[in-house]
Amino acid sequence: MRIGIFGGSFNPVHEGHVKLAETALEELNLAKVIFVPSAGNPLKAGARHAVPLLPAPKRLALLKRAVKGKRGLSVSGFEIRRKPPTYTIDTLRHFKKKFRPADQLYFLAGADVAKGLKRWKDFGRILKLCRFVVASRPGFHSSRLPKGVIRLVFEAIPVSSTQIRKRLLPSKAN
């Protein structure tokens, strides 16, 4: 069975995230996609420009509402329940144990993470535990992807979590 693990802050989740998961289900022939919201990003911890995250229970509830009734989509609070920092390698090991050895994991990420992949903890091992998939956006060049990473051609919806926060939150929080 092919299982998608969609990691991210989902700060907040929006229609583009759901569409990406649905596209991955179809294009990669996945049985399901599990959204795994992060407690925080260890690569952004302490950064002056770091965007405050909505509280974890709120992001989890918003995700559950966003996927409710959507075939093949679900949400896991695994990373949120862990003591920080949480790394993708740990999440993948968790899901590898949860499913059968023959099951293949596909880790889904947006194009915005592509430029920093080589800085991820144990990125070489991550590539051995899963097929790593980056969803492309307009203007994104797959030549930026490290070897072994799959590019998912994706008709992005013109919305981002940053745009949503700018509309909803005071300017200092963006």
Q: Domain of 161?
A: 2-173
Token couple for 30:
């996945």
pLDDT given for residue 48 in this prediction: 44
Which CATH number belongs to the domain containing residue 138 in this structure? 3.40.50.620
Pairwise pLDDT comparison (54 vs 75), residue with the higher score: 75
In this prediction, residues 127-156 reach a mean pLDDT of 82
Contact 97, 124 (CB under 8 A): no
State yes or no: pLDDT of 165 exceeds 60: no
Angle between helices 15-27 and 56-67 in degrees, nearest 10:
50
Token couple for 92:
């993948």
Contact 125, 89 (CB under 8 A): yes
Instruction: Give the model's confidence band at 73: pLDDT under 50 very low, under 70 low, under 90 confident, else very high.
Output: very high
CA distance 130 to 3: 10
CA distance 138 to 156: 8
Q: For the chain, what is the domain count?
A: 1
In this prediction, residues 162-173 reach a mean pLDDT of 51
pLDDT tens digits for range 85-134: 889 999 999 999 999 999 999 999 988 777 788 889 999 999 999 999 99
With residue 2 as reference, give the H or E element that holds it.
strand 2-8
The burial of 124, by beta-carbon neighbours within 10 Å (0-12 exposed, 13-18 middle, 19 or more buried), is given as exposed
CA distance 45 to 38: 12
Concatenating the DSSP letter of every residue in 65-127 gives HHHTT-TTEEE--HHHHSPSP--HHHHHHHHHHHS-TT-EEEEEEEGGGGGGGGGSTTHHHHH
Pairwise pLDDT comparison (158 vs 93), residue with the higher score: 93
CA distance 7 to 28: 17
State yes or no: pLDDT of 25 exceeds 90: yes
pLDDT tens digits for range 27-65: 999 999 999 999 875 555 544 445 667 899 999 999 999
pLDDT given for residue 2 in this prediction: 98
pLDDT given for residue 47 in this prediction: 45
In this prediction, residues 133-153 reach a mean pLDDT of 79
